[in-house]
Amino acid sequence: MTLPVAPASTVPAPMGRGTLSRQLVVRTTALVALVTIALSLFTALAIFQILQNQLDDRLQSAASRPDRFVGSNPPTGGSDPAGSGLIRIDAAGGQFLVSSQPEGLTAAGTAMLLSLDASRAPVTMRLPEVGLYRVLVQEREVREVIVTTVVALPYREVTTPMTSLLMMAGLLTLVAIVLSFVGARRVVERSLRPLTRLATTAHQVSNLPLDSGEGHVPIRVAPADADPASEVGQVGLAFNHMLDNVEHALAARHRSETKVRRFVADASHELRNPLASIRGYAELTRRGSEELPNDAAHALGRIEAESERMSALVQDLLLLARLDSEPTLDLQPTDLTAIVLNAVSDARAASADHTWALDLPEDVVMARADANRLHQVVANLLANARTHTPPGTRVETALSRVGDWAAISVTDDGPGVPAEIQDTVFERFTRADASRVRQAGGSSTGLGLAIVAAVVNAHGGEVALDSRPGYTRFTIRVPLA
Ligand SMILES: Nc1ncnc2c1ncn2[C@@H]1O[C@H](COP(=O)(O)OP(=O)(O)O)[C@@H](O)[C@H]1O
Ligand SMILES: [Mg+2]
């Protein structure tokens, strides 16, 4: 039998893996990132369209301007006076009527421009040496001659502002993501803090030893966390109601248990007097009449034996009832060596048919114990080793220190505790089947080991059994003084 140990449960950290707060923060941040990126992309696309349209408008107006220069063949070049990088080539019938072109435009570039079809929509193309250009080609009829006009403007007028815009948008997106992460984290942590406190309270309650005592549950969710206005508050409120309910139920159970215990204690107490009278009258009858008829003598013997058994039973019941209701132990530093010595010498006196061995440590072992009760524990174990084993059995009683504990073990080489009752042997009224009980002399009540367990548990100790045919060891442990 081991003492109940509360599981070491912990509340997960607020931002721990898989927690609700972590999920909320991650999802909020992801949503903000998605929206910001989409918004940036749409804005960039719109501005790109506007810039390109502006460029195209300028191309149109440049193309529709009358020729400013009419040069000879081949083109002599000459840069655009405004420095806008404008290229303008007018050609008719293989003749160049050069308007303007930037330095660096190669012949190949010029050829590329002239090879373009005259279409209405401007196109973007990369010209060797000078880079990306937006190009518009138009054809006009001037004095019955078809003049092809090529106008081109550097595309950087679109790409340069677009690059800065995209960099700006990227930076803003990054800032938005960081801000939303920090903000979401703060908001989520703050709004989930009551839930964390609730979990802590629940853990505290689950660690309470509710299986014993009056069932008082001293823990409640704080009023601030039990405000029905919020969802978490509703959980807190429901939790408090549940705890009230549990407390009421435990208190009711405790009251009814106390009533039963008091009844058992009272009943046992009341039974002691009539039992004493029965035994007294039986003894008187035996002494008063010299010669009793055989069957009357037998009946008298049975009356004496049964009333003795009943007295033992009543005494055990009374003791158990007392231990149950309030384990009033007189805990003092107690010399266990003396207790073991006394108990074994009593057992030796009670049965010379058994071999009684002792294994004591050199020095005295002191434990925090109630000497009378502990004597009874050892006496019960020795009585069992005497009554539930055949004559000739060797019983060894050992005392030792195990860590902070004092251990007393009673080992015998008798037939062993029947396997079917080993699990429940420390419970009340557990005993071997009737035939074996009769062998044991009919004094079996099934309460001896229950008393052992109750007394040892009241000491904060433990009891254990290890038994098989030919080897049975009962061990009790109590804290050292
Ligand atoms: N040393 C032992 N060897 C064999 N059986 C035992 C021993 N001690 C206890 N038992 C078994 O455990 C049962 C319960 O013991 P206990 O609670 O002391 O009740 P009781 O001795 O009154 O029968 C006994 O009836 C017996 O069957
Ligand atoms: Mg017994």
**Cα of 37 to ligand 2 centre, how many Å?**
82
- pLDDT tens across 86-145, in order? 888 888 876 777 666 666 778 888 888 888 888 778 999 998 888 899 999 988 887 788
Instruction: Name the residue ranges covered by the structural domains of the chain.
Output: 70-154, 208-326, 332-479
- pLDDT tens across 206-256, in order? 998 887 778 888 999 999 889 999 888 999 999 999 999 999 999 999 999
Any ligand 1 atom below 6 A from CB of 431: yes
∠301-307-310 over CA atoms, to 5°?
140
218 burial level (CB within 10 Å; 0-12, 13-18, 19+) = exposed
CB atoms within 10 A of CB 467: 20
Fold type of domain 332-479: Heat Shock Protein 90 (3.30.565)
Q: What is the helix (H) or strand (E) element at residue 58, kind and residue range?
A: helix 20-64
Any ligand 1 atom below 6 A from CB of 395: no
Residue nearest (by alpha carbon) to ligand 1 atom 13: 431
Per-residue model confidence as pLDDT tens for the chain (481 residues):
444 444 444 556 666 777 888 899 999 999 999 999 999 999 999 999 999 999 999 998 888 876 544 433 334 444 444 567 888 888 887 677 766 666 677 888 888 888 888 877 899 999 888 889 999 998 888 778 888 888 899 999 999 999 999 999 999 999 999 999 999 999 998 888 888 899 899 999 999 888 777 888 899 999 988 999 988 899 999 999 999 999 999 999 999 988 888 898 899 889 999 999 999 999 999 888 778 888 988 999 999 999 988 998 898 888 888 888 777 788 999 999 999 999 999 999 999 999 999 999 999 999 999 999 999 999 999 999 999 999 999 999 999 999 999 999 999 999 999 999 999 999 998 988 655 555 555 567 889 999 999 999 999 999 999 999 999 999 999 999 8
The answer to whether 77 touches 86, Cβ cutoff 8 Å, is no
Please give the Cα distance from 303 to 234 (Å, whole number): 67
Any ligand 1 atom below 6 A from CB of 397: no
Any ligand 1 atom below 6 A from CB of 317: no
**Collapsed DSSP state (helix, strand, coil) of residue 70:** coil
Q: Which atom of ligand 1 is nearest to the CA of 445?
A: 22
∠11-16-19 over CA atoms, to 5°?
80
The answer to whether 310 touches 275, Cβ cutoff 8 Å, is yes
Strands 123-127 and 131-142, how do they pair? antiparallel
Please give the Cα distance from 278 to 419 (Å, whole number): 38
Dihedrals phi, psi of 205, to nearest 5 degrees: -65, -40
**Cα of 357 to ligand 1 centre, how many Å?**
20
Phi-psi region of 442 (alpha: psi -120 to 50; beta: other; left: phi over 0): left
For the record, the structure tokens of 235 come out as 């959980």
Any ligand 1 atom below 6 A from CB of 385: yes
The answer to whether 431 touches 421, Cβ cutoff 8 Å, is yes
Q: What is the CATH number of domain 208-326?
A: 1.10.287.130
Nearest ligand, CA 463: 1
Please give the Cα distance from 92 to 149 (Å, whole number): 9
What's 421's DSSP letter? G
**Cα of 306 to ligand 2 centre, how many Å?**
16
Q: Which atom of ligand 1 is nearest to the CA of 451?
A: 17
Please give the Cα distance from 368 to 60 (Å, whole number): 107
Nearest ligand, CA 442: 1
∠333-338-341 over CA atoms, to 5°?
150
The answer to whether 382 touches 369, Cβ cutoff 8 Å, is no
Three-class DSSP labels, 141-170: EECCEEEEEEEEEECHHHHHHHHHHHHHHH
∠21-26-29 over CA atoms, to 5°?
120
Of the candidates 459, 455, 462, 463, the residue with the CA atom closest to the CA atom of residue 422: 463
**Cα of 463 to ligand 1 centre, how many Å?**
14
∠225-230-232 over CA atoms, to 5°?
55
Q: Which CB contacts under 8 angstroms, 24+ apart, belong to 284-292?
A: none
CB atoms within 10 A of CB 414: 22
Please give the Cα distance from 171 to 176 (Å, whole number): 9
